[in-house]
Structure 1
Amino acid sequence: MPVINYLTTIRFDFGAIAGLPEDIAALGLENPLLVTDKGVVATGIAARITALMPKGAATPVFDGTPSNPTEEATDDAVALYHAKGCDGIVALGGGSPMDLAKAVAILVTHGGTLRDYVLILGGGPKITAKVAPVIAIPTTSGTGSEVGRGAVMSFRDGRKLSVISPHLIPKRAICDPELTLGLPPMLTAATGMDALTHGIECFISNVENPPAGAIALECARLAARSLEVAVKDGANRKARYDMMMASMMGAMAFQKGLGAVHSLAHTLGGMKEVHLHHGTLNAVLLPAVLRFNAPIREAEYARLAHEMGVPAGQSLDAFIEALNARIGMPASLSAMGVKREWFPRVAEISLEDHCTKTTARTPTAADYQAILEAAF
């Protein structure tokens, strides 16, 4: 049984961002860096947050986070952190700014390069409690990074690798569904499918962790029943609330481990040849992976189907395919720009991804290529 630790302070409700000054004071911060992206700045949400921070409009802001956080952007943010004499970080946005903020929190206190702290390269134990304090404020409902202990980063060599440690869990999380009310339908759909995939993959993983499994099952229930409503009626407050809760719960279940969908999505998302959104990749890959795992997860699939509201007689993979179609997700990897000739390289790299270790049914490189072909 893995050690279970959900101990971070979370504000969760409409209007929760009003508590940011209290959280900043509780952590003793006087000059935190705001890490966000240009899209969030354009919505005006960043200005609302800086108004609540100690230096107001003079708050140091790094808004250069790319859609897949990179080693290069991390180095730029670290330089700004030091230049402005910052003492902590407020991360605002989707998973990318929150993951980049965690990478910055390591480097500004530990030194070295980000590669020194990559999990599969033995870097996890090098991350200590010295990390700079992070307050995470999500503006999407998908990654759950505001309560997660890891960051998925794109490196200069094209690999997408994770830094993971309990010390990376943000010291405070502020989950305000109001910040997602203006999220466009396609981004709502893609990030929502990320949350749903988290719930499903954690629930069926090969790790025995009943508390995390229960949380994962509830994540899947909420996401499956709320996502389509949130996509089609972005102002629906209950749907937005439930999707943000699903997102947070999905990340709380990460201690049970993810699976093959994420292994493949991490690798494809790191490809230099084309930009691929992580949540959209999860949506497209999920049905094929569900079919691959089906022979050994009949009971778990039945429970998921019941909680998710899958119609009688419909398989779980068929339900996901239908949901994808209704919310506007691509029908295939080829429609996203993936090339068949990449499959051997993607399969080999994915075998090394940390999520492969916890996937329900252990794949070979040939299995991964078959899954890619099925989703193509």
Structure 2
Amino acid sequence: MSFIQYIARIQFGLESRLTIPHELELAGIRRPLIVADRGLEATGVLARAVEAIEGSHYPRFLDVPTPPTEEAVLAGLARYRAEGCDGVLAIGGGSAMDAGKAIALLATHQGPLVRFLARTGGSASIGRLAPIVAVPTTAGTGSEIGRGASVTLDDGEKGVFLSPQLVPVAAVCDPELTIGLPPRLTAATGIDAFTHAFEAFTSAAYNPPADAIALDAIARIRAMLPRAVSQGGDLEVRSEVMMGATEAAMTTWKGLGATHALSMPFDDLGLHHGTVVGVVLPHTVRSLRRAVPAERFERLCAALDSSPDGLEDDLLAFARSLGLPGGLAELGVDRGFLPTAAAIAETTPFNQTVPRRLSTAEYLQIAEAAW
């Protein structure tokens, strides 16, 4: 038996941000808490995102760090309750959207957040949330239509939360809101989206619709992301990358894999998630080649115009073309941390959806190669 679900409303295209008032109304949200960050406010992107509702003076919570923390979520929850809010309007990258999801979760559930961790079965305790409308300003995380959220807990763990209830009721994807994203962040968020589709396709879960979407996303992002990095003001290119990221998010119902499992302990060090993902991805190919059926592996390579024997080198070249770091050492990772990272990777929810579960020793081999 397979579980196949696609449930989010998506408004996509230039000026789709003007549909936000309509989506709030459809969701039954009369007084949303706007969840974003100070950087988005400083660049003017937040003002552009909410221009259609600017006169409403909705309350805001802008103290969202990257990555989002439990402390920040509780501060946002206090603002939500003090302002009498009845829903969340999350605007930004993955941090803002994940924080918005956690605020909506605690607004309707008794905490603490640790109760709802996926790794301990907490997903079953997640019921209906306060409604969320999500507006991405990057083309990468897919949190705007995804069933997951990640928040760093008070004990330092990067907590992963998974439930269909965490899917926002609507996503408003306006490529114009990504125009000001710097090249490095364009590359890092874009390769994160690419990896969502890559790892979803290689997952053993049975979901042919997701597989078809994943292959299109892989080809689309591979072709257009380097242009988005070098030609960030091109709206057509930005639209193509955002569509690829949206497609990639649709595929993650199949689950992710070794790259995301191994990224989690490095995320806990404060490193940018997408950057780590881009560095690690090529070095997971050897484990995939042993676990993914040859026919599927060939279909994956065809989408990338690569060969089974040359895929690792092609992915390394792709990362280099985006200006990503050459290894974890370049990011300042101490080699002595690698065994700890490998042990954590084995325990993550993502190691449950790899084509074949990997051991700590296998994750250490990948980490050493990526270092």
Correspondence for 1:42:
42
Q: How does 1:301-316 map to 2 (within 5 A)?
A: 301-310=297-306, 315-316=310-311
1:329 paired residue number: 324
Deviation string 1:154-179 (CA, Å, 9 cap, x unpaired) is 11222112111111110011000111
Confirm or deny that 1:345 pairs with 2:340: yes
Instruction: Tell me if the contact between 2:198 and 2:214 (Cα under 8 Å) persists in the aligned partners.
Output: yes
Shift of residue 314, structure 1, vs aligned partner: 6.7
Contact kept? 2:297, 2:308, Cα under 8 Å: no
* Pair 1:54–1:30, CA change in 2 (3 A): farther
Distance 1:108 1:55 in 2: 26
Counterpart-to-counterpart distance in 2, 1:49 and 1:180: 11
Displacement of 1:292 after TM fit? 2.3
Q: Secondary structure at the match of 2:135?
A: strand
| Contact 1:190 1:279 survives alignment (8 Å) | yes
Match of 2:354 among 348, 351, 359: 359
The separation in 2 between residues aligned to 1:125 and 1:32, in whole angstroms, is 26
User: What is the CA distance between 1:349 and its match in structure 2?
Assistant: 1.3
- RMSD in angstroms over aligned alpha carbons? 1.5
Which residue of structure 2 aligns with residue 20 of structure 1?
20
Corresponding residue of 1:84 = 83
Percent sequence identity over aligned pairs: 41
Partner of 2:52: 52
**C-alpha distance in 2, partners of 1:119/1:347?**
19
Please give the residue correspondences for 1:238-249 in structure 2 after superposition, counting only pairs within 5 Å. Answer: 238-249=236-247
Q: Is the 8 A contact 2:49 2:177 kept in 1?
A: no
The TM-score with structure 1 as length reference comes to 0.95
Letter in 1 for 2:329: S
Contact 1:2 1:255 in 2 (8 A): no
**Matched position secondary structure for 2:150:** strand
Quote how far apart the aligned CAs of 1:116 are. 0.9
State the distance in 2 between where 1:25 and 1:356 align: 39
Query: 1:32: which partner in 2?
Result: 32
Unaligned runs of 5+ in 2: none
Query: Is the partner of 1:46 in helix, strand or coil?
Result: helix
SS in 2 for 1:6: coil
Tell me how far 1:54 sits from its aligned partner.
Answer: 7.5
CA shift digits 1:260-284 (9 cap, x unpaired): 100011121013xxx2111011110
1:369 is matched with which residue: 330, 345, 364? 364
Give me the whole-angstrom Cα distance separating, in 1, the residues matched to 2:88 and 2:19. Answer: 16
Matches within 5 A, 1:183-262: 183-262=181-260
Cα distance in 2, alignment partners of residues 54 and 133 from structure 1: 20
- Give the superposition deviation at 1:206: 2.1
Following TM superposition, by how much is the alpha carbon of 1:2 offset from its aligned partner in structure 2, in angstroms? 2.9
1:268 to 260, 266, 269: 266
SS, match of residue 146 in structure 1: coil
Superposed displacement of residue 182, structure 1 = 1.7
Aligned AA (1:244): M
Task: Give the corresponding residue for 2:138.
Answer: 140
Which residue matches 1:104?
Answer: 103
**Which amino acid in structure 1 is aligned with residue 301 of structure 2?**
A
- 1:293 aligned onto 2:292: no
Query: What is the CA-CA distance between 1:313 and the residue it aligns to?
Result: 8.4
Aligned length: 370
Asked whether the equivalents of residues 117 and 126 of structure 1 are also in contact (C-alpha less than 8 Å), the reply is yes
Query: Residue 55 of structure 1: CA displacement?
Result: 5.5
1:153 to 139, 151, 154: 151
Question: Is contact 1:71-1:155 (8 Å) kept?
Answer: yes
* Cα pair 1:149 1:168 within 8 Å, conserved: yes
Task: Read off the aligned partner of 1:338 and give its amino acid letter.
Answer: V
After TM superposition, what 4+ stretches of structure 1 lie above 6 angstroms from structure 2?
Answer: none
